[in-house]
Amino acid sequence: MGRGSSGRDARPPTAFRQRLDRLVREAVKFGAVGAAGLLVNLAVFNLVRAATDLQVVRASVIATVVAIAFNYVGFRYFTYRDRDRGRRTREMTLFLLFSAVGLVIENGILYVATYGLGLDSPLQNNVFKFLGIGIATLFRFWSYRTWVFRALPAPEEPVTEPRATGAETVPAPDASRTPQRVRG
């Protein structure tokens, strides 16, 4: 008795388990938006390279900026939709700042491979662009979740105080009203 269908104890999850589950869900959502952003980034990069005579890193910067705009919408309205929406100016400023750092990481790797190592074929450009995106993504995940899309504080548990008459005070359903007395 007291066991779930899996045969394990049906105990509530620990605080650690709950945090881990939330982190995994967040990482999956971040990955889904990031995967779509990766496709946008690589598609724009290859389109600009094919349609123009721009140098590799310049084409990559354009593609990265397009992907940053795409990703912001995905992160704000999908991955981090439950996060603090209070200070949008601060959020956008930090998002653009950390995105710019990610842009430098991503395109710095491509720059070193192309101009430092002489690896300049279309396949090599895409491989090093992909590698740069991957490394920059680790930085972006950490910075966005830590500084940009901050978690709201956990709701406080209602405080009940017994009275001398044997009744206790409980919060009313509407927080703008005063607590109701419950006779017990």
Tens of pLDDT, residue by residue over 99-111, are 999 999 999 999 9
Which of 13-37 are b and which e, b meaning 16 or more Cβ less than 10 Å from the residue's Cβ? Answer: eeeeeeeeeeeeebeebbeebbeeb
Which residue has better confidence, 148 or 38? 38
The answer on pLDDT for 60 being more than 80 is yes
Mean pLDDT of the 50-69 span: 97
